[in-house]
Amino acid sequence: MTAPATQGPTVVTEGLRKVFGSLVAVERLDLTINRGEVFGLLGPNGSGKTTTIRMLCGLMAPTEGRATVVGFDVEREAERVRTRIGYMSQRYGLYDDLTAYENMRFYATVYGLHGRARDERLEQHIAEMGLGERRNQLAGTLSGGWKQRLALGCATAHEPEMLFLDEPTAGVDPAARRDFWASIYALAARGTTILVTTHYMDEAERCQRLAFLSRGKLIGLGTVDEITTQFGQPTIEDVFIALQRKDEGAHA
Amino acid sequence: MSDTPRFVDRLRYSRFWPMLWKEFIQIRRDRLTLGMILVLPAAQLLLFGYAIQTDVRHLPTVVLDESRTSESRALVTTLMNSGVFDPAGEVADRATARRALDAGTANAALVIPPEYGREVAAGRTATVQMLVDAADPQTAGAAISGAQLGAQARATQIIAERVSLANPLDMRVRPLYNPAQRSAVFIVPGVIGVLLTITLTLITATAIVRERERGTLEQLIVTPIGKTSLMLGKLVPFVIVGYVQMTVVLTMGWVFFRVPIVGSLPLLYLLTIPFIIASLGVGLLISTVARSQAQAMQLSFFFMLPNILLSGYLFPRMSMPLPAQFVGLALPLTYYLKILRGLMLKGTGFADLWRPTGSLVVLAVLLFTISVRRFHKTIE
């Protein structure tokens, strides 16, 4: 693993804001995510989770405010950020007509790995990810769980310092989800910082810290216990449902 | 340290290469694309080379000879020898001749009245009639001019026999560049232009739209690949495919149809570059407008249609109404066809091709600049 660019937090956002026309997607977000943390971004649909991730990955320019990822400004130093992060989207971003191995080789090369070093790294990575038995299968013919595992493999072969996961387990069976989380913890244990958005409450409870977004606003931040206490609800799921009701009530 | 090794390293480790590698694997695995790349050149060439004959000849013709004299037989022979008409039998009366035309067994009917022989012998103007199936204007045109030319030829012979004088005027037409006037010679250079248009617009546009549709484009933008490597990695494979197709068609055109390459082959490949860039510009532009592969496909076909009809590929541009000619001026293929035909059939050098080349370069710069701008905007 390459040395981290800075000793400080991996993600810092200051007054991050995104506006689409008259719609405020993200309203002045201040977040700090520490190195090696598994950080969950929660909220109902349309709460600004994906927009936040997209701004942090450099897919979208913020309207206002600033953000640094692995010590670099996401707008002014986008190139430096890109080599040091991994991103796995809801749609996985795999090439269906390439085999599992070819997909990983392609992304590893695009991330700057070459020759023997790349091939050796890929062998090691495939073994770690348990992708060996499917390495020569076309990605398009893999089941949902395998696709998800491959997408994670493609996003992490270059050993990123920071990993963004946008609803990574949507539509995947419980066993595959459990394996996936085991991989996430293994990555975090080696110092990778992870930001994950999710709809699943059991997954939210696996995160070390959570941020609750509602209609673009940060309304809760802390550990699972801190948040349940803050909202006076027994579980994260109850907090979520209470928030959603409040949202719907505000819309009506 | 000098700059050279650094440049070599930069080239070697460029993120353009994995794109190229991936693109070729995808082309190889996608049956539809592969089919379009491999089968289309052969199919187009054979189809247009063999099936489309714009020169109308050998029209089946029935003859109603009521004169039955050596004079009338001489007229029939002159007409049949022109190659425009083929004898399809003698008929006994006008009704039968008309039925043959109705049924389509004959395209023309020659009617020689009983007094024909007598009139010619008496030195008066004899009248004959040619009935022509004019449902298809192209066939009709050939039949009409064939009949007139045949009759004039026979008339000249008759006058010469009567006055035993030398022919006062002898027009000798010498067809240049395509002396046998074979359609294939005209069509094969065009097939190259049409094929390149298909590969560089339709196939390129769908390949880019597929990346957007599948979410891989978004994935790529998050990687450190860079816009230029991304775009070149996407476009260059199809340029290579285009040149391979061009070489295949040139070879097949020569082997099957003896279509010559009179001019300079390197110059032909060189002057293809602005056409490639212009076509890629159109492909890229389509990819920024289309939301799905199906839309990209439809837009490409919409672009192909004027190319086939108005560029001069099948029909001469001079005979088109002015608005159609103006539309043709906006198509890269119009200029490229001039270059192709000039170089291949006439052996024209660059000195005489600078006009279409210049227009093509202007179109290429214009189209490519606009589309690259749009493309960059869509991936931001």
Which tokens is B142 given? 């050939």
List, for residues A75-126, the tens digit of each pLDDT value: 999 989 999 999 999 889 999 999 999 999 999 999 999 999 999 999 999 9
End-to-end CA distance of chain B: 37
List, for residues B37-80, the tens digit of each pLDDT value: 888 888 888 887 776 666 677 889 999 999 999 889 989 998 88
Please answer whether residues B218 and B275 qualify as being in contact, where contact means their C-beta atoms are separated by less than 8 angstroms. no
Among A7, A234, A187, CA closest to A85: A187
Identify residue B171 by its one-letter amino acid code: M
Q: For B221, which residue in chain A has the nearest alpha carbon?
A: A59
Domain chopping of chain A, boundaries: 11-93+162-251
Which tokens is A145 given? 């769980």
Distance CA A42, CA A201 (A): 9
Say what the pLDDT of residue A6 is.
52
Q: Reading across the β-sheet that carries B129-132, which strands appear in turn?
A: B85-90, B59-65, B108-112, B129-132
Q: Which residues of A touch B29 (CB under 8 A)?
A: 97-98, 138
Which tokens is A211 given? 């941020």
CA of A106 vs chain B CAs: smallest distance (Å): 6
Q: Which residues of A touch B13 (CB under 8 A)?
A: 112, 114
- Interchain proximity A59–B26, CB inside 8 Å: no
Query: What are φ and ψ of residue A192, in 5° steps?
Result: -75, 130
A96 and chain B in contact, CB less than 8 A: yes
Comparing CB atoms, the residue among A89, A97, A111 nearest residue B223 is A111
**CATH 3.40.1710.10 domain range(s) in chain B:** 59-163
Q: Which residues of A touch B233 (CB under 8 A)?
A: none
Q: For A103, which residue in chain B has the nearest alpha carbon?
A: B22
Give me the sign of the Cα torsion angle A131, A135, A140, A142.
negative
List, for residues A2-27, the tens digit of each pLDDT value: 454 456 899 999 999 999 998 999 99
Listed in sequence order, the residues at least 6 apart from B176 whose beta carbon sits closer than 8 Å to its beta carbon are none
Residues in chain B where the model's pLDDT stays below 70:
1-5, 51-55, 165, 167-168, 180-181, 379-380
Say what the pLDDT of residue B287 is.
94
Whether the predicted pLDDT of A63 surpasses 90: yes
- Interchain proximity A87–B22, CB inside 8 Å: no
A145 and chain B in contact, CB less than 8 A: no
Among B81, B85, B139, CA closest to B110: B85
Whether the predicted pLDDT of A130 surpasses 70: yes
Distance CA B258, CA B250 (A): 10
- Interchain proximity A106–B18, CB inside 8 Å: yes
**CATH number of the domain located at residue range(s) B59-163 in this protein:** 3.40.1710.10
Q: C-alpha B254: how far from its chain's center?
A: 16
A134 pLDDT band, cuts 50/70/90, is very high
List, for residues B107-118, the tens digit of each pLDDT value: 899 999 999 989
Q: Which residues of A touch B17 (CB under 8 A)?
A: 109
Please answer whether residues A57 and A166 qualify as being in contact, where contact means their C-beta atoms are separated by less than 8 angstroms. no
What 3-state class would DSSP assign to A115? helix
Which tokens is B133 given? 């199936």
Which tokens is B32 given? 């539809």
A115 and chain B in contact, CB less than 8 A: no
Say what the pLDDT of residue A230 is.
86
> What is the topology classification, in CATH, of domain A11-93+162-251?
Rossmann fold (3.40.50)
Distance CA B239, CA B276 (A): 7
A58 and chain B in contact, CB less than 8 A: yes
Q: Cα dihedral angle (A64, A65, A71, A73), rounded to 10 degrees?
A: 30
B79 and chain A in contact, CB less than 8 A: no
- Interchain proximity A98–B218, CB inside 8 Å: no
Give me the sign of the Cα torsion angle B5, B9, B12, B14.
negative
Average per-residue pLDDT for chain A: 90
A72 and chain B in contact, CB less than 8 A: no
Residue numbers of B between 224 and 243 with CB closer than 8 Å to A: 224-226
Q: For A78, which residue in chain B has the nearest alpha carbon?
A: B224
In this structure, chain A runs to a length of 252
Q: Which residues of B touch A90 (CB under 8 A)?
A: 215
- Interchain proximity B214–A110, CB inside 8 Å: no
Say what the pLDDT of residue A1 is.
45
